[in-house]
Amino acid sequence: MRTGEPLPSMRDVLALVETGRWHWDTAAGLVTVDEVSARLLELPAEQVTLTEAQVRARLHPVDWNEITGVVQLAVAEGTLAEVRIRIMDDQGRVVRVVRSRSKPTFDPLRKAYLLTGTLQEVTDPAPGTPADRSAVTGDWRRSREAFLLDAGRALAEARSTQEVLRVAANLSMPGFSPAGLAVYGVTGDQLTVVGHHGPEPGSEGPYSMPLDTAFPAAEVARTGRAIYVSSPQQYRARYPLTWPLAERFDHQSWAFLPLTASGRTMGTWMAVFAHPVAFTPDERSVLTTVARMLAQALTRAGTAESERALTNDLQRSMLPRLGPQRIPGMSVAARYVPTGGGLQVGGDWYDVITLPNERFALVIGDVQGHDVRAAGLMGQLRIALRAYASEGHRPDAVLSRASRFLYGINEADPADPRYATCLYVEVDPTGGVLDIARAGHHDPAVRMPDATVLTRQTAGGVPLGITPDADYPTTRMVLEPGETMLVCTDGLIETGGHDLDTGWRRLRTVLERHRGSLEELADALVQAVHGPSSHHTTGPLTDRREDDIALLLLTRQAEGLGAGPGTVRRALRRTMLTVEQSEPERVAEARQHLRELLHDWCSPDQVDSAVLLLSEVLTNVLVHTDTDALLQAEVVGGPEGRRMHIEVTDGGADLPHIRAPGELASSGRGLLLIELLAHSWGVAPRGQGKSIWFELDESDNPPDGTDETAASAPHQDRKPHEDRTAP
């Protein structure tokens, strides 16, 4: 470089010396790496932001656990955090060793560490050299106590037999690291290979052999005493019959140690070394301790795997196997994900039942508890529901009989009563009519053709089994072409520390953004709860217990939705709701439905106006008639833009009209508000009743009394009558 020339940028300098940069925010769980660091991690050479899980998959598990201790120590002492890390490939092999240096800081408000550092590849010591027998990470790992602490922590975190073997194979013992290992188990009178990690295929030897074979691993399994072989000559002299099995691998030392758990020898751990090992008392002590931890880890992993297999097999055997569903004009997708640990069998279930007259029923529910009894009750309840439905009963009768059935079981076992939530949907594929009965379960959610998601309020009763005479009213709704209904258990909503509100918001985002098939949507919903993205959508609750997940998706095909010849406007989204005389509180639900329907309306003032007018019209029906009110709200689109159309139908015969109330009058202003705020409106006879409707075009400017569209409202719909609007 010549004098006076500008200095190169730090990025260019680091790139020239093959040094990468990275930044880690433990609160967000994200690690950002530049091109060099990405290449050193065996990733494409480009800057990328990774999750902790993605980075962890590239590092040796023992080294990952070590990083936490190094960072905490550096923060406490105010020094740099320096560590050597082994980078692994997809087959669990070490591809390189890198040195990481960083200056960590701790944010007490966020309770998180912030690290910015460098990454540089270092020369891996040659096998058999003194440098190779030293700890990988230098001073921090040179003591035996530190190594055993890290090894124990890594083995304790392993969740499967294969992960235990992978951790054990990559333990960097202080001063002597095995070149490979094999774990043998005892099955009857045979010694079998549980798993192995070695430099060459077949290093585990024969797949199985009798326990009385003159093989060191078999002798250890028989006697429970360790065997140390320091040289090939010693091996050949002590075990001449099995020496040919070991001779072809060119190992220099062998250690065979018993795997003992609960006082029983369950197998043998064979560690092989590429260089001679004297097996001093200190080295034998380390190997013995590792063997004990390995035995405990294998026992835990084996027990957990057996329990998981039993849990999954038991639960899945009680769930229906959904093949291709031949439903005219409709499609169904289902998912069940067991997330309980051990024998915590969940009571979640779903079912699809064929009914007479070409109808079918969707059932989803959750029995209280996470144990074998919950799974057994779930199976009995599912069979009972299927039987009642097949008899041709309506949804309310099906749930009433199921509640009486479960109540009888609880009476027979009063010491442990169980209850169940359930949602039963009878589907008429021809018209998309859904009759829904609900027993303490969550309301369904509906995604409209334009991806707007509404929670459909339905009438419901108490959970099944609480009383033998429970009543479950039926709610009727129509699934329009192109709409998809989601019903699920609370595991899909609340897993990850969420409550009902935050959990639904998380699912709503997935439903609104997804553009794939129904099966892909089901996978996306589960992925949002249990996939990598779920780490960034944890809820506000400190209780992060997981629960089983069951979900059903029903979609109605969207043929005929598009604008055809002669079509001026088409419905983009639609909702319906009945407000009965005995349920005036549902007026608030109607207002919420309308706000959800207009969630993306450009003018908040127009939304407020529409909600006000809807409230006026609904209250008018409840106060001045003896009939129920049916709300139909839709957003339609056309060449000129979107328009909301809100219509309320009732059975009253008298038609309202605009009048001028006195200054002190307490009523009579309803239609005046509609006249002032709506672009168009009208009153139309409907059989024995009438409909009051109003429309607003999407605009930033509310209409005034001389709006041309309002003036174009049908004259016969607006002729004077006595005004019956609510106060």
Lowest-pLDDT choice from 42-56, 424-438, 696-710: 696-710
Q: How confident is the model at residue 443 (pLDDT cuts 50, 70, 90)?
A: very high
**Nearest partner of 498 among 534, 551, 522, judged by Cα:** 534
Q: What is the C-alpha separation between 208 and 95, in angstroms, rounded? A: 32
User: pTM for the full model?
Assistant: 0.55
pLDDT value at residue 420? 92
Burial class of residue 178 (count of CB atoms within 10 Å of its CB; 0-12, 13-18, 19+): buried
Other beta carbons within 10 Å of 336: 21
pLDDT value at residue 714? 40
Token pair, residue 493, equals: 């909503």
Query: What does the DSSP 8-state code read for residue 440?
Result: B
**Nearest partner of 121 among 205, 20, 254, judged by Cα:** 20
Q: How confident is the model at residue 174 (pLDDT cuts 50, 70, 90)?
A: low
Token pair, residue 503, equals: 């959990």
Q: How confident is the model at residue 142 (pLDDT cuts 50, 70, 90)?
A: very low
Q: Phi/psi at 298 (nearest 5 deg)?
A: -65, -40
Token pair, residue 509, equals: 């985002």
pLDDT value at residue 71? 81
pLDDT value at residue 328? 79
Other beta carbons within 10 Å of 10: 9
pLDDT value at residue 177? 73
Residue 375 CA, chain-centre distance (Å), reads 22
How does the average pLDDT of the chain come out, rounded? 79
Residue tagged 């480009």 (tokens):
46
Nearest 5°: the CA angle 714, 717, 719 is: 110
For the residues 477-500, what does the mean pLDDT come to? 88
Question: What's the 3-state SS for 62-100?
Answer: HHHHHHHHHHHHHHHHCCCEEEEEEEECCCCCEEEEEEE
pLDDT value at residue 127? 43
Residues 83, 63 contacting (CB under 8 angstroms): yes
- CA torsion 221-223-229-235 (nearest 10°) is -80
pLDDT tens for each residue of 188-239: 888 888 887 765 444 444 567 888 888 899 999 998 889 999 899 999 999 9
Q: Phi/psi at 655 (nearest 5 deg)?
A: -95, 130
pLDDT tens for each residue of 48-101: 999 888 888 888 877 777 787 678 767 766 777 888 888 888 777 888 888 888
Above 80 in pLDDT, residue 126?
no
pLDDT value at residue 486? 95
Q: What is the C-alpha separation between 209 and 189, in angstroms, rounded? A: 9
Residue 564 CA, chain-centre distance (Å), reads 40
Residues in contact with 214: Cβ distance below 8 Å, sequence separation at least 6, in sequence order:
239, 241, 242
For the residues 676-685, what does the mean pLDDT come to? 87
Q: How confident is the model at residue 3 (pLDDT cuts 50, 70, 90)?
A: low
Q: How confident is the model at residue 251 (pLDDT cuts 50, 70, 90)?
A: confident
Nearest 5°: the CA angle 712, 618, 572 is: 60
Lowest-pLDDT choice from 198-207, 648-657, 677-686: 198-207
Above 50 in pLDDT, residue 284?
yes
Residues 150, 62 contacting (CB under 8 angstroms): yes
Q: How confident is the model at residue 427 (pLDDT cuts 50, 70, 90)?
A: very high
pLDDT value at residue 77? 60
Quote the radius of gyration of the chain (alpha carbons, Å).
35
Which H helix or E strand runs over 689? Answer: strand 689-697
Burial 101-135 (b: 16+ CB within 10 A, else e): ebebeeeeeeeebbbebbbbbeeeeeeeeeebbbb
Lowest-pLDDT choice from 164-173, 176-185, 558-567: 558-567
Sign of CA dihedral 434, 437, 442, 443: positive
Residue 673 CA, chain-centre distance (Å), reads 47
Residues in contact with 579: Cβ distance below 8 Å, sequence separation at least 6, in sequence order:
586, 587, 590, 618, 621, 622, 628, 629, 630, 631
Classified as helix, coil or strand, 176 is: coil
pLDDT value at residue 256? 93
Residue 167 CA, chain-centre distance (Å), reads 27
The per-residue DSSP string of 271-305 comes to: EEESS-----HHHHHHHHHHHHHHHHHHHHHHHHH
Residues 398, 355 contacting (CB under 8 angstroms): no
Q: How confident is the model at residue 562 (pLDDT cuts 50, 70, 90)?
A: very low
For the residues 122-132, what does the mean pLDDT come to? 50
pLDDT value at residue 128? 44
For the stretch 605-608, contacts whose Cβ atoms lie closer than 8 Å and that sit 24 or more positions apart, written own/partner, are 605/702, 606/644, 606/696, 606/698, 606/699, 606/702
Above 80 in pLDDT, residue 35?
yes
For the residues 483-510, what does the mean pLDDT come to? 88
Residues in contact with 490: Cβ distance below 8 Å, sequence separation at least 6, in sequence order:
366, 442, 547
Above 60 in pLDDT, residue 722?
no
Q: What is the C-alpha separation between 332 and 362, in angstroms, rounded? A: 9
